[in-house]
Chains A and B, each alone.
Chain A
Amino acid sequence: MATPVMEKSDQAPEPGFADSPYITVTFRVRRFNPEVAAEATWEDFQLEIDPKERVLDALHKIKWELDGSLTFRRSCAHGICGSDAMRINGKNRLACKTLIKDVSPEKPITVEAIKGLTVLKDLVVDMEPFFQAYRDVMPFLITKDTNEPTRERLQTAEDRERFDDTTKCILCAACTSSCPVFWNDGQYFGPAAIVNAHRFIFDSRDEAGEQRLEILNDRDGVWRCRTTFNCTDACPRGIEVTKAIAEVKRALITRRF
């Protein structure tokens, strides 16, 4: 490839501010504050904003300039911590990884808390049931040899590759809270817990795969999955969630027959 050069024509400052990048965008936010009203309501905010900014930037602008009571979680602002999963235009995404131009800013952009978990205030939900399901699959390395390891636990590149996809999870709950089975019955483990079980079940160094499979063979385990694929669509890390669930199902069946 050619050496990168500054493209002068593009970089030249525009005369005046004739084509300002700013456009007017309406954000329709689902508000809920139990200290004020028992019901959640929609509230519109109009912003002048560059559509190349992210939805998170818009939420910041609203909170900092229009209404300080708007409540949402965010930490890293760069798609790593998994705090700001929300339902944007009806689809679960991370606000910090969603560009405004990608969610049709000509129309009002709806922003809601993720579904299936109790809303505490505005966009903040109670994540406890989600993390309970996560803890229930024992998401940590288990070995039969309980002695302190004296050297690194080695594995081949192929063995590592086997579960690579599911190591990428940031526990944002976008998948679990996009699942219609979870919406209606929060006792279902949910995709995220299965993804994190998959991470260890298919790790050659782990020795409790059988136990985890048994946990997911539960009435509220993998068999409740209806292959809706909402989870795969929702995952901001691009994990093939439905495929991971199918691999756990297959492991359960082939182990028995």
Chain B
Amino acid sequence: MSTTESPATGIGPVEGASQYTVDNPAPLIEAPRARTKKTPKSTRGNFEMVAWLFMRLSGVVLVVLVLGHLLIQLVLDGGVSKIGFAFVAGRWASPFWQVWDLLMLWLAMLHGANGLRTIINDYAERPNTRLWLKGLLYTATVFTILLGTLVIFTFDPNIR
């Protein structure tokens, strides 16, 4: 019925004649970041493999750490109402909870940061967007890890 000559009834409502013709076609809707002969450059090293393994191994440890943490903080012994300066000070008096929290901090931050890195790799199309998003992510991660570590090691229960 409709052919390419007649104003294509089949191809959406086009008012009058289309501005596009056989000799002047519309731009194609390109797929994001297509693979070509030259891109992407092949990479060396095992970084992605180590990152992949780390997600799974840290995940297993985080199950224990995070669920234990939530249980202690939110459920046992009166729930959230008990949390206060004294409660935190009491727990951090023991090296066991210091190590627990330190480990949880590092693993959760690195796990979360690497997860977000994956998401940025998936979604950011332009190299510049990637660069900025990752820069922001790494800065925030390093800052949080350092600050958290500092607090755990230098926490002073007698502060006023």
A residues apposed to B, CB below 8 Å: 31-41, 43, 66-70, 116-120, 126, 128-129, 132-133, 136, 180-181, 183-187, 189, 215, 217-221, 223-224, 226, 249, 252-253, 256
Contacts and interface: CB of A to CB of B under 8 A. Distances in A.
Contacts of B49: 217, 223, 252-253, 256
A67 B4 CA distance: 10
A37 B12 contact: yes
A181 B122 contact: yes
Contact of A36 (B18, B36, B52): B18
The 10 closest A-B pairs by CB, nearest first: A41-B12, A38-B26, A223-B48, A34-B25, A34-B26, A129-B34, A186-B34, A129-B35, A219-B43, A187-B40
A217 B48 contact: yes
A218 B4 CA distance: 45
A237 B42 CA distance: 30
A220 B47 CA distance: 12
Contact of B46 (A33, A66, A217, A249): A217
A31 B20 contact: no
A26 to B, nearest CB: 15
B10 A67 contact: yes
B86 interface: no
B95 interface: no
Contacts of B2: 67, 69
A185 B4 contact: no
A37 B39 contact: no
Majority secondary structure of chain B interface residues (helix, strand, loop or mixed): loop
B33 A187 contact: yes
Given A118-B34, A186-B35, 15 more contacts: A31-B12, A34-B28, A35-B20, A36-B18, A37-B8, A38-B26, A38-B27, A43-B12, A67-B1, A70-B10, A118-B28, A128-B34, A132-B35, A217-B46, A223-B52
B3 interface: yes
Contacts of B40: 187, 218-220
Nearest to B8: A36
Contact of B8 (A39, A69, A186, A252): A69
A37 B24 CA distance: 11
A249 B50 CA distance: 12
A31 B11 contact: yes
A119 B10 CA distance: 17
Contacts of A189: 35
Contacts of B12: 31, 37, 39, 41, 43
B76 interface: no
30 contacts: A33-B11, A34-B20, A34-B25, A36-B4, A36-B20, A37-B8, A37-B20, A41-B11, A43-B10, A68-B3, A69-B3, A116-B31, A119-B28, A126-B28, A129-B34, A132-B37, A184-B122, A184-B125, A185-B125, A187-B33, A187-B35, A217-B48, A217-B49, A218-B48, A219-B43, A220-B35, A223-B48, A223-B51, A249-B52, A253-B53
